[in-house]
Amino acid sequence: MSQLRFCLIGTGRAGLVHAWNLGARIKRGELVALCDANPEALTNAARELNVTRLYNDYRQAVRDPEVDAVIIVTPTFLHCEIASEAARNNKHIFLEKPMAITVKECRTIMDAVNQNGVKLQIGFMRRFDEGFLQAKEKLESGQLGSITTIKSTGRGPGLPPSWSHDISKSNGLLAEVNSHDFDSVRWLVGADLKRVYAEADNYKCADLQNQYPDFYDNVLVNLRFKNGVIGSIDGACPCGYGYDARTEILCTGGVIMIGSIENDGVSTVTIDGGVIRNAHRSWRNRFKDAYLAELEHFIDCVLNDRTPRVTGLDGLQAVNAVVAANQSIRLGQPVVLPDVQ
């Protein structure tokens, strides 16, 4: 096999990022089929992408013999059943974050993958971003000593989809936005989390309060890792001003700062001395190259029988942390994470 044939399951914004990368930027992957339960969304995507193999039911899509792998970009509460069915039909799986709603669902996916000998990669694109990769390399070199504190910010400009307002179906902001933060801090520190203490509130979306009393749009999580490192994650969505993903790592011999609010490009200085810069408007442009690199990596792992850089266990660990942080919000106290492997 010299090329991997994909079906995209879920044709929303994130799904179309992967679809366009397959269509225009990746040589060893081909988008041959689309699947979406929404007929209008499916038709629009098919027209935009010039794909003719169309499915409304994922069960039919994963049985298609012309499909080698699936990219799953559906609401989180559907991930377990779709990914498990794909594995049972011998399809390799690129699964967008968060992996699932519960640790049990993550284990179900991993069991199906292992039993059927297919590849699984979770869509944590920060691990493929040049800035994050450089930081990881510096940390592993030891030139800055050991890590003492890590702080990660993850904020989105607008509200996530309406289905995610129900915490029971999405795990909320901590999953939909800050899954990336939980994964990247664990990866950078090189240790699993031991304890979390989270505070959250709804400051900007009062209209959602009656229907979704557990909904929150701002959150702060204090972290303690098993190797003694401490840290924090802060999230907000909607924050309004742009897409904001930054990390600071304080070490005994220096500090590493990854990312910036400001978009690359032009700065304007006004006559009264004011400085105007543009913020990143979307995750799509902030991590444009990382989205490409993660999918190229997945294709390489399938074609050359290699283990993906981001495994099901990584996805499970992030879900474990999110679930514990949401529990901390409800209880109003620190929560020790259960050991999961």
Is 266 contained in some domain? yes
Q: Average pLDDT in the 75-99 region?
A: 98
State the CATH number of the domain containing residue 304.
3.40.50.720
The DSSP 8-state label assigned to residue 127 in this structure reads: G
Could you read off the pLDDT of 235-291 as tens digits, one per residue?
999 998 888 999 999 999 999 999 887 665 444 455 676 655 566 666 557 789 999
Is 341 contained in some domain? no
Could you read off the pLDDT of 312-331 as tens digits, one per residue?
999 999 999 999 999 999 99
Q: Point out the least confidently predicted range of 102-106, 202-206, 275-279.
A: 275-279
Strands of the 218-225 sheet, one edge to the other? 254-258, 244-251, 147-155, 230-236, 218-225, 193-201, 335-336
In this structure, the answer to whether residues 141 and 276 fall within a common structural domain is: yes
Please give the pLDDT value at position 161: 86
In this structure, the answer to whether residues 58 and 108 fall within a common structural domain is: yes
Q: Where are the alpha helices (DSSP H) in the chain?
A: 13-24, 39-49, 58-61, 79-88, 103-116, 130-141, 167-170, 172-176, 179-189, 283-286, 288-303, 312-331
Is 31 contained in some domain? yes
Q: How far is CA 147 from CA 135, 152, 193, 220, 226, in A?
A: 12, 14, 14, 21, 13
In percent, the amount of the chain with pLDDT more than 90 equals 85
Q: Average pLDDT in the 208-224 region?
A: 96
Residue 116: is its pLDDT beyond 80? yes
In this structure, the answer to whether residues 80 and 131 fall within a common structural domain is: no
In this structure, the answer to whether residues 183 and 329 fall within a common structural domain is: yes
Could you read off the pLDDT of 306-315 as tens digits, one per residue?
999 999 999 9
149 exposed, middle or buried (CB, 10 Å; 0-12, 13-18, 19+)? Answer: middle
Residue 215: is its pLDDT beyond 90? yes
State the CATH number of the domain containing residue 210.
3.30.360.10
Please give the pLDDT value at position 268: 47
In this structure, the answer to whether residues 213 and 106 fall within a common structural domain is: no
Please give the pLDDT value at position 115: 98
Give the structural domain span for 121: 4-126+289-310
Is 103 contained in some domain? yes
Please give the pLDDT value at position 264: 56
Cα atoms in the 13 Å half-sphere on the side-chain side of 240:
5
Please give the pLDDT value at position 315: 98
Structurally, the chain folds into a number of domains equal to 2
- CA–CA separation, 97 vs 104, rounded Å? 16
Please give the pLDDT value at position 148: 98
Please give the pLDDT value at position 275: 54
Is 76 contained in some domain? yes
Could you read off the pLDDT of 156-192 as tens digits, one per residue?
998 888 999 999 899 999 999 999 999 999 999 999 9
Residue 35: is its pLDDT beyond 90? yes
Please give the pLDDT value at position 267: 47
Is 109 contained in some domain? yes
In this structure, the answer to whether residues 115 and 97 fall within a common structural domain is: yes
Tokens (6 digits) for 284: 């799509």
Is 168 contained in some domain? yes
Could you read off the pLDDT of 142-159 as tens digits, one per residue?
999 999 999 999 999 988
In this structure, the answer to whether residues 268 and 162 fall within a common structural domain is: yes
In this structure, the answer to whether residues 59 and 160 fall within a common structural domain is: no
Q: Average pLDDT in the 95-104 region?
A: 98
In this structure, the answer to whether residues 121 and 140 fall within a common structural domain is: no
In this structure, the answer to whether residues 271 and 186 fall within a common structural domain is: yes
Is 306 contained in some domain? yes
Please give the pLDDT value at position 341: 75
In this structure, the answer to whether residues 97 and 238 fall within a common structural domain is: no
In this structure, the answer to whether residues 132 and 121 fall within a common structural domain is: no
